[in-house]
Structure 1
Amino acid sequence: MNRSEKAALQLRAVAVLRTLKRTRTYDELAAETGLAANDLNRYVNGHVLPGADRARAVVDGVGRDLLVSELERRIRTDSEGYVDNTAVVSDPSLLGLVPPVARETLGFEPPEVVLTAATDGITLATEMAGQFGARVAYAKKTRETAVEEFFEARARLDSGIELAYYLPASALEAGDRVLVVDDLIRSGETQELLLDVAGQAGTSVCGVFALFAAGEEGLDRVRDRVDAPVGALASV
């Protein structure tokens, strides 16, 4: 690990601890992480950075475990398999934990653009973009009246319904490094359409990420389409 990689890891660990601290006392955070409350205070307030080993343990260990546990606690699934993740996508404090943990878990390159589908993916995409200093682009199922040029992707779903997404052409530039994110991967059909949009723009996809995966079918379908890390933090 070179100096810049070490610094990036340390800063990601601090971001995780700061987000956890929003809803916990230092003593509570110490009990969950195994770190001393005084050390946590210094990390959270920027007085010192955690060492590389401790930073990795925070981001890829306790931070990920706490995040996945909280995500799974908040998800709701009805008797027909429909997923309600309102308690997740509407909580900025919780979503603030996701970017550093997701990057450490999947190992994708920092994106220049975070691409998602309206509407549930927007809050997650905004958090991811803020973490990496990237732009946000979100495709919609309808065209914007004042926009003249679009990237358009459409497909007939297994259910027989035709799904289409539109993205203003100005939102992506050829050569952009794009991270595709969404709240949920089920069949992979939505992600395929977003990848189609990214391909039309001549971008380079650096990863595909979701908070939840409903089984492996969607993940496998997306992996067949892209040569980049693909994954989700939790399963439903």
Structure 2
Amino acid sequence: MRAGRRLVKVDEQLEAVEFINTAKSIYGLSYRELSQILGIPESLLCRYANGDLLPSLDTVSVIKDRLKSMLDLTEVLRRNVVMKDGFVDLNNVLFNPYILRLYQRRIREFFSDLPINKVLTAATDGIPLSVMASYALNARLAIAKQYKDIATEDFYEVGYIADSPPRRVSLYLPKHLLEKGDEVLIVDDIVRTGRTLNALVEMINNAGAHLAGVSVLISMSNSWVEKMRDRNVRIDIILDLGSMRT
């Protein structure tokens, strides 16, 4: 077997092992419960999960097929996002490395065919997601902040009205992080009104770059979507809660 084919095989085997550990972590499953789901003996699952043994390609197919629906990122978000009094708590998502890895795969699936070389987000909650997106696409990361970094002199600056609480917010990005001709993916954890997104789009335009895609973990309204689609931009909304808002 050629070295390239061997690497592909090992990648598939390691991915299946990661699926086992991901399902075990996210759903709190025991090896006995996983064994019942997969039809694979507990002893083997334990050896796979610990890295003592890699599953055969036939077993890889079984693992992926039977865990596919459980590890669908939209379903995982439904189970882990906490909503209380109109607020969304993403702590169970943004600080879980297994869920972040699922997000990384989602980014690769939806955007890897585009020539994206920059991932742009606004600090701070979008940072874990944008790091995974940057890694998935082999793209550089640009983070717009509400303050100026002391070591940088030249910035893009855009302002918008934030609604909670109502106030004027400015975002700053060092100019060397976003350049003319860049193909940009915007990453956002939660979109409510789309104002932050619009500010990031303005920043991209000011740089002479091109908006290629938008990845949104949770959308709380649909008002911003058509405006983005009018720009001929690829949009991936992983969990749409717009219809659930009161």
Instruction: Give TM-score scaled by structure 1 length.
Output: 0.74
Of 168, 176, 181, which residue of structure 1 is paired with 2:182?
A: 176
The question of whether the paired residues in 2 share the 8 Å contact of 1:112 and 1:176 is answered with yes
Identical aligned residues as a percent: 29
1:102-155 deviations in whole A, cap 9, x for unaligned?
A: 443567625211111100000011111112222111100111122100011112
Of 205, 210, 217, which residue of structure 2 is paired with 1:199?
A: 205
Of 119, 124, 128, which residue of structure 2 is paired with 1:119?
A: 124
The question of whether the paired residues in 1 share the 8 Å contact of 2:13 and 2:54 is answered with no
**What SS does structure 2 have at the residue aligned with 1:101?**
helix
Partners of 1:112 and 1:178 lie apart in 2 by: 6
- How far residue 63 of structure 1 moved from its aligned partner, in angstroms, is 6.6
Partners of 1:120 and 1:235 lie apart in 2 by: 18
1:58-116 deviations in whole A, cap 9, x for unaligned?
A: 99x63763x2222111212222x221111111112211111222443567625211111
Paired amino acid for 1:97: L
Partners of 1:175 and 1:31 lie apart in 2 by: 52
The question of whether the paired residues in 2 share the 8 Å contact of 1:108 and 1:228 is answered with no
Give aligned pairs, total.
224
Q: 1:204–1:29: structure 2 CA closer, same or farther, 3 Å change rule?
A: farther
Q: 1:140–1:101: structure 2 CA closer, same or farther, 3 Å change rule?
A: same
What value does the CA root-mean-square deviation take over the aligned residues? 3.8
- Of structures 1 and 2, the larger Rg is shown by 2
Partner of 1:4: none
**Structure 1, 215-224 or 85-94: larger mean CA deviation:** 215-224
**What SS does structure 1 have at the residue aligned with 2:69?**
helix
Partner of 1:150: 155
Paired amino acid for 1:21: N
Partner of 1:186: 192
Q: Which runs of 5+ in 2 are unaligned?
A: 1-6, 242-246
Of 145, 160, 167, which residue of structure 2 is paired with 1:161?
A: 167
Partner of 2:69: 62
Partners of 1:203 and 1:88 lie apart in 2 by: 31
- How far residue 163 of structure 1 moved from its aligned partner, in angstroms, is 2.1
- How far residue 26 of structure 1 moved from its aligned partner, in angstroms, is 7.7
Paired amino acid for 1:62: S
**What SS does structure 1 have at the residue aligned with 2:214?**
strand
Partners of 1:146 and 1:28 lie apart in 2 by: 53
**Per chain length, whose mean CA-contact separation is higher, i.e. which structure has more relative contact order (CA < 8 Å, sep 6+)?**
1
Partners of 2:77 and 2:175 lie apart in 1 by: 34
Q: 1:129–1:17: structure 2 CA closer, same or farther, 3 Å change rule?
A: farther
**What SS does structure 1 have at the residue aligned with 2:151?**
coil
**What SS does structure 2 have at the residue aligned with 1:18?**
helix
Partners of 1:63 and 1:11 lie apart in 2 by: 21
- How far residue 18 of structure 1 moved from its aligned partner, in angstroms, is 2.2
Q: 1:87–1:148: structure 2 CA closer, same or farther, 3 Å change rule?
A: same
